[in-house]
Every structure is written in structure tokens, then in C-alpha cells.
Amino acid sequence: MAACLSITTVLSAASSFAQDLTSTRVNTLGRPGIVEMPSAEMAPDGQLSLSYGRFGNFNRTTLSFQITPRLSGSFRYSGIKDFNDDFDTYWDRSFDISYLIAKEGTYRPAIAIGLQDFLGTGLLSGEYIVATKSVGQKLRVTGGLGWGRLASHSPLGLSFGERSEIDVATGGTPNFDQWFRGDIAAFGGLSYQLNDKLTLMAEYSSDAYSAETERGVFDHKSPVNVAVDYKLGKTTSVTAFYLHGDEVGLQFSASLNPKNPRVSGGLEKAPLPVRPRPSRAADPEGWSDGWVEEVGDASGIRKALSAAMTEEGLTLEAMSLSVTRAEVRFRNDRYNARSQALGRLSRIMTRAFPPSVETFVLTETMEGVPVHSTVVQRSALEAYEFEPARSMLESVTFADPLSFEHDNLVSVREAYPQTLWSIAPYVAVSVFDPDSPVRLDYGIRGQINYELAPGLTLDAAAFARISGNISDEEDDVDDSTLPPVRTSSREYDNRLRVEKLTANWYSRPAENLFGRMTVGYLESMYGGVSGELLWKKPNSSFALGAEVNYAVQRDFEDTFGFGDYDIMTGHLSAYYAFDGGYHGQMDVGRYLAGDWGTTLSLDREFNNGWRVGAYATFTDVPFEDFGEGSFDKGIRITVPSDWFAGTPTTETNDFVIQSLTRDGGAKLNVSGRLYDRVRGMQGDQLEERWGRFWR
């Protein structure tokens, strides 16, 4: 109590100018804070941090993300040795969230409110209100009030309502009836930045480690914690700490921010410059229609254009040409930023077509099917080449290719058939198994895409497992009454496995409407038929989709055989792109286990292709029938390869972190779903990354 009063006195007396209370340093729980107590500091907007710490019988791994400048979230995986008789090490999953209520002012501290372990088993469950104030340039002072676990040491004798017990049988549900209830305790501390690399910290903790002390895995001797943090580099640090007069520990932390690419500016070669047109007096025939008879069927222009596009990683599929207008249909095999592909193709077109051609129509295709057209005026290219990209954006228009006529459109015969293939090593990771938190398989994976004609493709992927231990996992406790539609995945122990083998048909049934039909071995566990329709306007933030699947579970041992389980499944989907780079999705329908419900997703999207988000699925399966975890939920991250490499590529790396793999809320994993593919080529996404048009 005395510590809290002294901190409050310092806060009220502080008259230093306000600082930006951001912090790249994290505490022992993997979030901005002092030693293990929280603070009102926030990480830089968009930052991802990963930390691993160990002390005594404890180890903690935490992934944190600064969702907005004021909102942060953390997912933690903690291990406690000898805590539970059933396991040598008891592993616990927990989620935290914190919101900055008020930023620091000249005399006012920053104030934040937070929930700790609000979706887990409740072992770390607690809530807090905390204030942090900078005093000068190097000292930060923090004081706060905690509930739950954060009120287990020296409560103030104050309470708010009754705090109920958590049912840990299933876990994973929000413990609403506990939030900010029960005893209240005070905590606080100081951090002092000695120099650019070294920060010293001390705190008075309100966490008594009651559950751990009762089980003899921790000895709480003092509420005082101290630590020293040393920055190894711009994004990495190591922290040494001494907790509660009993344990010494170390923590390693690393962070990155999607806003800051590893290679600033990129390493790709410079594009061709725009070729200005000669004056009418210098080329009267080129400015009139006199050149039309001379070029005839324009085969020479098509050949030269195709060769120049190939150099830029673009494939010419069709072209039409008139005196004043040219349309080019193309496939982009190189640029993750579609606007960069448009910029490079536009400049090539200024070199390929006669001066009278003023209007360029650039139509990008998906598997040969036209998806989106960008209409560019040649005079704008000539006028704005050295101006900000925004000027060029204001001069273009976006349209559905089906909204206008395509006279004299000639397909390029060399575009089909087309074969794309790759062979590369792969690593499969399984996490959160209580007996082995991380399991790995590794081997070789090959895939091939054979495009027979516009819209018609054959896809195949297979992998050969060289070694690993994922299939060595023991069966989970059978606490679910659902069919084993996903929990049986480890039964597929074939060293050589066909991941998918499908025939796919993509189509444009009508304006703003896209279609997909997939038949064959749809994914590693299911085969069947999948059909999808998507309605999406070129410049709209809103889209609707529908998918219907007939799925049959594949045989565990026979690569091309099927089992006895089959089901009709599918969803209606709504998508919306919010301002600020946030994207929401809602799917309503039937899942693989026959349960009905909805999946809600929210992602933060960065204009370089990064995505970080979370999802949760709620179905008509009661939590007790679902089993441990209560409902399906997870975190997903998409990392564009060009962010690391610095050179253009359309490849991305997708990661999904699920606390548990269960059977409820399970969806079919079909490749080639329409929404993300279509949206990436359309106007709203193009505008987000239009700054790369002149790259």
C-alpha cells in the first residue's frame, strides 16, 4: 500500500513533457510491462513480438500483436513442471488483451485497462487498470490496481462483487462473470533506461503465485521483482530477472513490424521508362489510322509485346487493337503488388502501340478468366511519370471486363496449355501436444498446375515424408461426441501422400459474378466435389459468397481409396473491408462434423501484403460435447515472401495457430477459393498498394 501511495505521489507531481509511451521491450508475460506486472505502455502500431522465458519450473512462450495503436493482444503457451500429476509438465494456453484508455499528457499519465487469461483455463486469470508516466527522458513510473490473480498478494481490503470459480473441464470460454470482481490489490514499479541498450526495472507485484505455491513448485518469499534488459540488436533483447525472492530467470525476445520491410525499397531491376509519343507533325501516319493497314492482324505487335512482358514476369493471353484503344489480357506471375504489374505493363504499352492509341485497357486474368480491368489514359502516363502515384490513380478507372465490349480480341496461342511446377523441402509443425509441445515432420513436396485452356486447370500436389514425429502423437482424451473429422489426421501415416489431385473450372457467369468448380482429391483428408459462387464489384468493400461441398473422407492407408464417412457441407459468406486496413468475414453454414453455426474472422491487413488476424467458430455443438477448448478458435498470419526477399514474388507463407485441433467447427480445406484471389486484383486492393505503380 505504501508503495502504491508513493508511486501515485510521483505521478501527480511529475511535470515532464509527455512522451510517446511505446515500448519494444516485453515483460515475463510477453507484453509491454515492468518485470511481470503490466504497464500502460503500448508497442509500436502493428508490431509482432515473440518471447521465450524460463525460470525454475516455469517456461513461457508468448506471441503479442499491437492490433491498433491503442489495442494489443497476446497468446501465451506456458509450461509448469510437476504442477499436475497427469503430466510431467502441465501446459496451459492463455489469451490477454489490453486497451489504452488515455494517452499520456503533460501532467496526466497514460491509462490502460486489460484482461489477462480471459479465454484459457483461468490459471493466470486477472484484470487490471494501470497508469504509466514518464519522468524526464529515461524514467517511467507505473502504478495500478489488479483483480483475480493480480489481487492475490496483500489485497487492499476492498472488493467488487463475488468472483466465481472457473470450470476448467472444458476451458476456452470467456469468464465474463469474473471480470473486475472480487478482491483488489495494488501494484507498481519503475523502469529506467540507463543507455540505448540497458534498462533497469523494479516492481512491487500483487501476484502471490498461490496455485503454484500450494503445489510446491514455487516459493513466494517477497513481492519485489527486479530485472535488467539488454538490447542485442534493433529487434532482439535478453532479460535477466529475479522473482519473488525465489527464482532467477532469463528471457529472449524478438520483434518485427510488418510496416518495415527487411529490404527497404526493394531490389528489383528498374522498369522501362514511358516512351513519349512524337508530335503529330513528326509522325502524321502514326497519329491517324494510316498504320492500320500496315500492321494488318497486329501479329508483329503481339509478338513484340509478349516478349517484353515475359521479361517483366507477365504473360500475354489476348490482345485487341483499334486506332485509339488497346486491350491487353495478362497473367501476373511475379508481382504481389498488382499495381506494380500494372505500372510496368503500362510503360511497355507506350512502346508497343502507335501514337494514336490513347486508351489502354489492362485486364488481369485468373486461370485465364478475366477478373478486373484498369483503364489507363496514355496521356496521363506521359504527364505523371515523375509525379506522385496518387496523381496517376486519380486518372484511371476500374471496371469489370464483362461491362464493356471486346472487339477484335485475339487470343495468343502460345499461352495454352501452360505448365507450372515446383519441388521444394517442406516442414510440418504440430504444436500444443501435452507430451511434446512441438513436433516436426520434414520431407519433399512437389506440386504442378497444368492449364489446359482459359478457366480449365488440373492441380496436383504430393509430399514424401523423410522423417518426423507428428504421427507419434498419442490420441487425445476422447472428450468429444463428434465424428473424428479432424482429430483422425494423425492416422494418415503414409510416407508418400497425395495432398490434392483436382480438376478445376473457373468461370464468369455474369457481371460481378465469379464461379469455381473443383472435383477430385480436394485436400489431404477429403475428396469430392466443391462448387462456389462469389459476387464482388470492382470498387466495392462488400462481397457475398456461397459454397457447397460433397466431401468423402479418404482412406488412412490407401492413397487413392475412400472411407465410410461422407457429408454435404457448405457456407454462405459475407466479406467487408473496413477503413484502416481491417477486414471482416462471416461464414454461416454446415461444418464437416455435421454441426451448424458461424465463423467470425477479423484481420488486420497491411498494404505490403501482411495479414494478422483471428477467428472463432460457434456451432450448435454444446461446449461439453465439443471437448477441451469449448469452441474452435485460432490466430492466422500471412507473410508475403517479397517482404523478406526484397524482390517481387507472388508467393506467401500462411501460418495458423490453433490452441487445439478439434472436430467441431471444422471446414474443408479447398485450394483456389475465390474471394482472396479476386479481391487482390480489384480496385480496392489496387488502391491500397498504388504507391508501387511507378516502381
Task: Say if residue 32 is in the same domain as residue 172.
Answer: yes
Question: Of 415, 444, 466, which marks where a domain is finished?
Answer: 415
Q: How confident is the model at residue 540 (pLDDT cuts 50, 70, 90)?
A: very high
3-state secondary structure at position 54: strand
pLDDT surpassing 70 at residue 111: yes
pTM of the model: 0.90
Task: Assign residue 497 the CATH number of its domain.
Answer: 2.40.160
Task: Assign residue 117 the CATH number of its domain.
Answer: 2.40.160.40
Q: Which domain holds residue 291?
A: 284-415
Q: What is the pLDDT of residue 569?
A: 98
Question: Of 241, 256, 271, which marks where a domain is finished?
Answer: 256
Q: What is the pLDDT of residue 480?
A: 65
At residue 265, φ and ψ (nearest 5 deg) are: 90, -25
Q: How confident is the model at residue 504 (pLDDT cuts 50, 70, 90)?
A: very high
User: What region, left, alpha or beta, does residue 403 occupy, with left being phi > 0 and alpha being psi -120 to 50 degrees?
Assistant: alpha
Task: Say if residue 615 is in the same domain as residue 471.
Answer: yes
For the beta carbon of residue 636, count every other beta carbon within 10 angstroms: 16
Q: How far is CA 12 from CA 107, 186, 187, 567, 604, in A?
A: 7, 17, 17, 65, 37
On whether residue 621 sits in a domain, the answer given is yes
What's the whole-number mean pLDDT along residues 643-648? 86
List, for residues 55-68, the tens digit of each pLDDT value. Answer: 999 999 999 999 99
pLDDT surpassing 90 at residue 130: yes
Q: What is the pLDDT of residue 493?
A: 66
On whether residue 68 sits in a domain, the answer given is yes
Task: Assign residue 350 the CATH number of its domain.
Answer: 3.30.300
Q: Residue 653 and residue 609: Cα distance in Å, rounded?
A: 11
Write down the residue that cell numbers 517456461 correspond to.
Answer: 59
Across 45-138, where does the E strand assignment appear? 48-55, 58-66, 71-81, 89-102, 110-116, 126-135
Task: Say if residue 182 is in the same domain as residue 303.
Answer: no
At residue 9, φ and ψ (nearest 5 deg) are: -60, -45
Mean pLDDT, the chain, whole residue set: 90
On whether residue 270 sits in a domain, the answer given is no
Task: Say if residue 476 is in the same domain as residue 506.
Answer: yes
Task: Say if residue 210 is in the same domain as residue 306.
Answer: no
Task: Say if residue 438 is in the same domain as residue 468.
Answer: yes
On whether residue 178 sits in a domain, the answer given is yes
Task: Say if residue 213 is in the same domain as residue 321.
Answer: no
At residue 316, φ and ψ (nearest 5 deg) are: -75, 125
Our measurement of the distance from residue 530's CA atom to the centroid of its chain's CA atoms, rounded to an integer in Å, reads: 25
Q: Residue 424 and residue 512: Cα distance in Å, rounded?
A: 37
Task: Decide: 32 and 45 in contact? Cβ < 8 Å.
Answer: no
Q: What is the pLDDT of residue 632?
A: 87
Q: Per the structure block, which three cell numbers stand in for 444?
A: 519433399
On whether residue 43 sits in a domain, the answer given is yes
What percent of the chain is predicted at pLDDT more than 90? 71
List, for residues 243-298, the tens digit of each pLDDT value. Answer: 999 999 999 999 999 998 877 666 788 899 999 999 999 999 999 988 887 777 78
Task: Decide: 449 and 421 in contact? Cβ < 8 Å.
Answer: yes
Q: Which of 523, 518, 459 is nearest to 497 (CA)?
A: 523
Helix (H) or strand (E) holding 389: helix 389-393
Looking at the structure of the chain, the number of domains it has is 3
Q: What is the pLDDT of residue 290?
A: 82
Task: Say if residue 636 is in the same domain as residue 527.
Answer: yes
On whether residue 694 sits in a domain, the answer given is no
List, for residues 417-473, the tens digit of each pLDDT value. Answer: 888 898 988 887 777 766 667 778 888 999 999 999 999 999 999 988 888 777 665
pLDDT surpassing 60 at residue 625: yes
Task: Say if residue 356 is in the same domain as residue 441.
Answer: no
Task: Say if residue 53 is in the same domain as residue 91.
Answer: yes
pLDDT surpassing 90 at residue 239: yes
Q: What is the pLDDT of residue 466?
A: 87
Task: Say if residue 438 is in the same domain as residue 361.
Answer: no
Q: How confident is the model at residue 2 (pLDDT cuts 50, 70, 90)?
A: very low
Task: Say if residue 338 is in the same domain as residue 465.
Answer: no
On whether residue 513 sits in a domain, the answer given is yes
On whether residue 264 sits in a domain, the answer given is no
